[in-house]
Amino acid sequence: MNQITIEKRIEGVGIGLHKGEPIKLVLEPLESDMGVVFYRSDLGVSFKAEPKNVINTQMATVLGSKDGYVSTIEHLMSAISAYGIDNIRVVLDANEVPVMDGSAMAFCMLLDEAGIRKLDKKKKILSIKKPVEVRMGNKFVKIEPSKDFKFDYTIKFDNPVIGTQNFVFDFSKKNFIEQIAKARTFGFLKDVQMLRSKNLALGGSLDNAVVIDENRILNPEGLRFENEFVRHKILDAIGDLALLGLPMIGKYTAYAGSHELNHKLTLDILSSKENYEILTLDGEKSVEYAKAFA
């Protein structure tokens, strides 16, 4: 099985979640072994999507350096990962990826339109060899060996609308589109008001997020899934783990996970060769793996 990129350049425009201004997004093909690269066209600087370039995980996953940054990359990274794309350049004219409708579905549609092109080099994957876990109090994320890429995620909020939710997701492109991609980001009304007082979340609205009051959902159309909240957390986790730079084989489990915990997990995985091995996909392994992206 060979590495892949997109067939053609594709453009889109959307609102930035924090600045509330239109942002132009361009996806461009890249050659083998280039990975996912974010390029700020307004600054002329690039950031490769890898853990060492993550500079903030407070409210989103942020790539950057002293020359600039790109925020809220996780939803786009999630779609890129689900489509099995190894090499792609993401061009932006501002400091964040547009929020679109708060899910990954718009990015899936852009990738569908861009198409897929096979490259000349074999695909490589990162296979987990031993369990790695990161904890903060009672919150944790962990990865352990598995023959598949699987997610078992639990969230618990002291809010009657969310409460405790669990979802187990078997990773594949088809399952991602049907079960995960449409799940929107969410937030609480009191937090939105606080963020706006700091000139943040200026682009946030009921069109691109599920907003929750003390005991009800404010979006008139309601939820897309009964457990949309935990599904969106899986969407985020897929995007955060995509920063490992290679597709991964392993079982991910989380309780009240976060961008920060996911980032620490990627750093811990890569900290020792005892935690993982890199496999080149050919022969029977290639056929099995390809089924996930059919």
175-187, pLDDT tens digit by residue? 999 999 999 999 9
User: Backbone phi, then psi, for 144, in 5-degree steps?
Assistant: -145, 160
User: 21-52: string of b/e by CB count within 10 Å (b at 16+)?
Assistant: eebebbbbbbebebbbbbbbeeeebbbebbbe
Residues 115 and 130 in one domain: no
Residues 203 and 289 in one domain: yes
User: Backbone phi, then psi, for 16, in 5-degree steps?
Assistant: -80, 135
Residues 207 and 146 in one domain: yes
User: Catalytic site residue 263?
Assistant: no
Could you tell me if 27 and 111 are in contact, meaning their C-beta atoms sit under 8 angstroms apart? yes
Residues 188 and 71 in one domain: no
236 is in an annotated binding site: yes
Residue of 18, 142, 233, 259 with catalytic role? 259
Residues 193 and 72 in one domain: no
287: pLDDT strictly greater than 90: no
Residues 110 and 170 in one domain: no
Residues 113 and 143 in one domain: no
Could you tell me if 114 and 10 are in contact, meaning their C-beta atoms sit under 8 angstroms apart? yes
pLDDT tens by residue, 3-14: 999 999 999 999
Range of the domain at 171: 125-293
Residues 92 and 219 in one domain: no
pLDDT tens by residue, 206-243: 999 999 998 999 999 999 999 999 999 999 999 999 99
Q: Residue 195's pLDDT is what? A: 76
- The sign of the torsion formed by the CA atoms of 265, 157, 203, 179 equals positive
Residue with tokens 């060492």: 52
Biggest alpha carbon–alpha carbon distance for the chain: 57
Kindly indicate the confidence band of residue 194, based on its pLDDT and cuts at 50, 70 and 90.
Answer: confident
We report the CATH number of the domain holding residue 44 as 3.30.230.20
Residues 142 and 283 in one domain: yes
Domain finish residue from 121, 153, 188: 121
pLDDT tens by residue, 95-123: 999 999 999 999 999 999 999 999 999 99
Domain finish residue from 78, 104, 121: 121
18 is in an annotated binding site: no
Residues 185 and 222 in one domain: yes
263 is in an annotated binding site: no
Domain finish residue from 92, 121, 150: 121
Token pair of 252 as six digits? 């991910």
CB proximity list for 284: less than 8 A, separation 6 or greater: none
Residues 88 and 160 in one domain: no
Q: Which of 141, 30, 65, 81 shows the shortest CA–CA distance to 292? A: 81
Domain count, the chain: 2
Residues 74 and 205 in one domain: no
We report the CATH number of the domain holding residue 237 as 3.30.1700.10
Q: Is 41 left (phi over 0), alpha (psi -120 to 50) or beta?
A: alpha
